[in-house]
A = this chain, B = another copy of it.
Amino acid sequence: MAELDLFFRPESIAVIGASRTPGKIGHAIVKNIIESGFAGTVIPVNPKEEEILGLSVTRSITDLDLPPDLVVVSVPAALAEGVVRQCGEAGVKNLVVITAGFKEVGSKGLEREKKLVGLCREFGMRMMGPNCVGVMDTHTPLNASFAKGFPRKGNIAFISQSGAMLVSILDWSLSAGLGFSRFISLGNKAVLDETDFIADAGIDENTKVILCYIEDVVKGSRFMDTAREVSKKKPIIVLKSGSSQAGALAATSHTGALAGSNLAFESAFKQTGVLRARSMEELFDLASSFATQPVPRGDRVAVVTNSGGPGIITTDSIEAHGLSMARFSKETITALREKLPGEASLYNPVDVLGDANDERYRFTLEKVLADDNVDSGLVLLSPAAVTDPGATARTMLDMRKKFPEKPLFAAYMGGASLAEGMEILTRGGIPAFTFPEQAVRAIKGMVTYGQLQAGLKEDKKDRLVQGDVDEKTVKAIFYDALRNRRVVLLGSEAALVAEAYGIPAAPIKLAKNPGEAAEIAEAMGYPVVAKVASPKILHKTDVGGVKINLKDRQEVVEAYTSIMDNAQRYFPHTPIYGVEIQKMMPKGIEIITGISRDVQFGPMIAFGLGGIYVNLLKDVSFRLAHGLSREDIRDMLQETKAYSLLRGFRGEEPADIEAVIDSIARVTRLALDFPEISEMDINPIFAYPKGLSALDIKITISPELPELDR
């Protein structure tokens, strides 16, 4: 039995704070449990009542001989702690805390919430909420919530961080005819969070599609691990809000969650096969499609229409979404030509013409769906004199049975005259839309899911980097820097860190006097570059802190003196550590890589076009380090224009792409091994036809280990 199973299929439920008074939440919950047809034992708990809705009332949870499988708590916030403690003492393991007045109301509430969490830990209890609407399962059936109404039975689990959203969706779904397996209201997510319920929905046999509305995730890497596993079995579709600056502000004032950056979420979803819906409408269009249709094997769509204009609109939309118009086989075309009128368009979109009756639709659909070059079908119907929307709807249901592996969608473009046909489609399990673009967007979502899954199915087990990394050297350098009261490493230190992880860096050493500088240069070989060694001086060139192309001992000595003079003149109060001597490297293709950190998902890896125009061109792709594979890194490269350069733009020799991938893998490993690296920038790296060289490396560490989930 799954860990959370008793939240959905308990045999006994107690409601603490049950009430006799209609309109009170404690009344609504008991009423909902009874009316949902729950077959188990229901125990209202209230110290002052004898009977509620025909059930005999227990005075306290501690009075029961056996703890109920599930306890719903709906008492004033001030009493919640005591009640939860009683639950713990009574041996209760599963709690739904409806009560509000916790983290969402500020610091006092947060204190109260922390106490609940402590009790859950102490007694080993699982808690949904607090500040939630409750939980529903249509298959049990059970409605342990105070929401009005109970969803139709279906195969979609909806997990919502917003109670109002859950209530709105429930109301909407009853009109739209969409069925659900579960409704889960996360509330403040003090103990159980989205990841727990996604994992459980993943193993629930009644759930085929998992829908989430979230404003944040509690533990980034845990979410990623779970989502990656679950999305291999069933689609997870997420509407994530709070992605804008202002939205994040609103999210903070709403549930007190610190919103993660949008970029990190985008990456997390992409890397785990989660589909992100861009709007509520898309969320539900995708839900109804996944709930009823198989995932198409590919992106080739066949369109059958009784009117030209909508056919063109749909073709545009299919292309704009990056899907393909299927190209029919010769046999299909021949068959269509034999039977369709001469003016009909036989190629995709097939125009069966305005005077098409259902027979023409049926014949065409049968031929087109049988074609191996077709992965999914979309039927467009405009109301004309001889159109029979009902018959064509029934035809589509037949086709779904006949071609079970090919998803089918309908755009019934009109109003009242098509309502009956729409109803037949919806009830029969074919997504029916008013406008064709909605159908195309749904197909796109399904195709994307298929592609994401194909990506995840690849072997991601290859370890990023073979074991040849030298953690000790890195630790020693960090230690020295911190003892020096520095969080930004010197260039020479950063290069040693890079080399310790196998990232080829241009040789660079710190000189403390002109003679040392000359010796270093002699050992390195000329020409060299001299740079002032001071992490505080940012635009070194502008203050005469850099001398390039130094060709002999004399030039190096002079450069040292000149640089130190300039630095001391411009920055009399800034610590200067000396001058760093770096070997001048031959010019290569300039790229950039680096590390940044997201509060929820940990380190992010960047790759892009390097050089002075980085900020202008912003040609950079990102991935989260957690779970990153070499194949992901290759994808990451391919997303950028820099990739065209690496492959050899305009006839130039290609660069060593494998070496670039290896170095990014090593940067990723470094990021994962050392969470104390808060930022790393390598700009530029020169990529050569063979190998590469990191020219300018900047590493910032945080003085304390951040609180991360590793």
Q: Which chain A residues have a beta carbon within 8 Å of chain B's beta carbons?
A: 23, 105, 148, 160-165, 167-168, 171-176, 213, 215, 239, 241-247, 249-251, 253-255, 278-281, 306-313, 315-320, 325, 343, 345, 347, 349, 351, 354, 382-385, 413-419, 434-438, 612-613, 615-617, 619, 641, 644-645, 649-650
Contact = CB atoms under 8 A, between A and B. Distances in A.
19 contacts: A162-B309, A163-B307, A163-B309, A164-B309, A165-B309, A167-B307, A171-B416, A173-B415, A175-B414, A215-B309, A241-B312, A241-B315, A241-B316, A246-B319, A249-B315, A253-B347, A278-B437, A279-B438, A616-B641
A429 B154 CA distance: 37
Question: What's the dominant secondary structure at chain A's contact region?
Answer: helix
A239 B316 CA distance: 11
Quick one: which of A239, A313, A617 has the most chain B CB within 10 A? A313
A118 to B, nearest CB: 25
Contact of A435 (B254, B281, B385): B281
Contacts of A383: 148, 167-168, 171
Nearest to A160: B309
Contacts of A325: 246
Contacts of A619: 617
Nearest to A641: B616
Which A-B residue pairs are the 6 nearest by beta carbons? A162-B309, A164-B307, A175-B415, A244-B319, A171-B414, A254-B308
A474 to B, nearest CB: 32
A316 B436 contact: no
A105 B341 CA distance: 12
B435 A165 contact: no
A23 B316 contact: no
A612 B645 CA distance: 11
Contact of A309 (B161, B245, B612): B161
A163 B413 CA distance: 13
B246 A308 contact: no
Contacts of A105: 343
A414 B167 CA distance: 8
A243 B616 CA distance: 30
A434 to B, nearest CB: 7
A254 B385 contact: no
B616 A382 contact: no
Contacts of A351: 254
